[in-house]
Amino acid sequence: MASSDIDRIFAGSIPKLYDTYLVPLIFEPYALDLANRLGSRAVSRVLEVAAGTGAVTRALASTLPESVEIIATDLNQDMLDEASLVGTKRPVEWQEADAMDLRFPDESFDAVLCQFGVMFFPDRVKAFSEVHRVLKPGGVFIFNTWDEIKDNEFANTVTVALEPLFPGDPPRFLARRPHGYHDRRVIEQDLSNGGFARSPRVDVVAARSRATSPRIPAMAYCQGTPLRAEIESRDPKGLAEATDVAAEAIAKKFGRSAVDGKMQALIVTVES
């Protein structure tokens, strides 16, 4: 299986592990950030793409007035099933949808949000053009993307730790995909090619990633992301060892009890 296919596998046990470990570890602070950025705007209909297990959706449901319609979409039905199971403070509409082929009328949303999903789009310009199409004039597109992996300590530590296990072909999912879309010039050009005439605002937001033990980030990354498929494609029985190696590397660097590491993302805001 090609790496581009592996990178988009969020099925099986991954959605549950993703929501249990990864969401509180790295996603929740940025989900609140996105929701708060939208909270100051007057909106009546909001679309979320690549909603995953609903971290941003839950934040939106708690932040926006109940009169605001929220439609949360994702390409992976398994992720939406987990999101629906966890639930939201008030009703939202969950819908399976491909960001590159949004089945919504032109100019039908006041805002489109995407949390850490644009990196996974096979054709970002096509996805951005779809977002631009469904936005009303004057609407806003807000998304975030991880900064370089060196600025995200747990992800970088796990990636480096796994290299000796697979010296001929180390798993590079985290560096390649989640942390592979941070060049501002490329982002600006992709948005422009997707139809956005206005220049985006790009904010660098650093935060802290915290867990009660080193094993939690190891589990989060090794078993709650497509890194799992990358590991298992190299050694079908190697997942437990890889998780142990990652946990030990985090323990050596950050301590053997509660751990605290830097994470950093870019938040992009552009108006239609």
Q: Interhelix angle for 28-39 vs 55-63, to 10°?
A: 40
Q: Report residue 47's pLDDT band, with 50, 70 and 90 as the boundaries.
A: very high
Residue-range definition of the domain harbouring residue 124: 3-271
CATH value at residue 238 = 3.40.50.150
pLDDT band at residue 40 under the 50/70/90 scheme: confident
Counted domains in the chain: 1
- Determine the average pLDDT of the residues in 111-117: 98
pLDDT in tens, 232-254: 999 999 999 999 999 999 999 99
Angle made by CA atoms 166, 232, 73, in degrees to the nearest 5: 120
- What's the N-to-C CA distance of the chain in angstroms? 38
Whether the Cβ atoms of residue 250 and residue 157 lie closer than 8 Å to each other: yes
Nearest to 52 by CA among 33, 27, 32, 89: 27
Q: Output the pTM of the full model.
A: 0.94
| 188 closest CA partner among 203, 199, 204 | 199
Q: pLDDT-derived band of residue 143, with 50, 70 and 90 as boundaries? A: very high
Summarised one tens digit per residue, pLDDT across range 166-210 is: 999 999 999 999 999 999 999 999 999 999 999 999 999 999 999
